[in-house]
Structure 1
């Protein structure tokens, strides 16, 4: 994905009550390391007000290259791919670009 336009990622994750505290701890570390990336412009973590196992991430990247670099980073591979994904029961990711209307 190569583009000079900014990119917003909205990730909807569902985990279990047994795993939510582990996922929350891992996300704190992931957020810190992601915000240190030169192309990461924002990284917010939310949960549904009535269901803490329903997690939403909103990430902002300078461009498509910055998102690709994030996804290839050691911390993403270690934290998300190896540790968090196995704890998720559902995962939906949307990649959004600015509206050009």
Structure 2
């Protein structure tokens, strides 16, 4: 059965030397489209203080289905997979479910 709880995504991208500004420019488009998705809760872009070639994305979605919709969206397919991933040395993604205490 599909998880109906919110899903948080932590994505760490190690960007190829000299490509950070290009990636950040492309991410602006992805961010703007992503925050308009029905199941999006937030989309935050961070840059590492210790390694300026590392970008960390912190995203929130209302459910697993919303994550799937995001990954299947035209902006994710075109910009993230088509244009950004080739500019990365490494890409790690962790999906989490927030723990709520009563």
**Same-fold call, TM cutoff 0.5:** yes
Q: TM class, shorter-chain normalised?
A: over 0.9
Q: CA deviation at 1:100?
A: 6.1
Find the counterpart in structure 2 of residue 91 from structure 1. 91
Deviation at 1:3, TM superposition (A): 1.9
Higher strand share: 1
How many Å apart are 1:15 and its aligned residue?
0.5
Unaligned runs of 5+ in 2: none
Q: TM-score, normalised by structure 2?
A: 0.93
In the TM superposition, structure 1's runs of 4+ consecutive aligned residues that sit over 3 Å from their partners are none
Equivalences for 1:1-101 in 2 at 5 Å? Answer: 2-99=2-99
Aligned with 2:99: secondary structure? coil
Aligned Cα RMSD in Å? 1.4
Q: Secondary structure at the match of 2:52?
A: strand
CA distance in 2, matches of 1:40, 1:25: 21
Distance, in Å, in 1 between the alignment partners of 2:23 and 2:98 is 30
TM-score where L is the length of structure 1: 0.94
The size of the alignment, in residue pairs, is 101
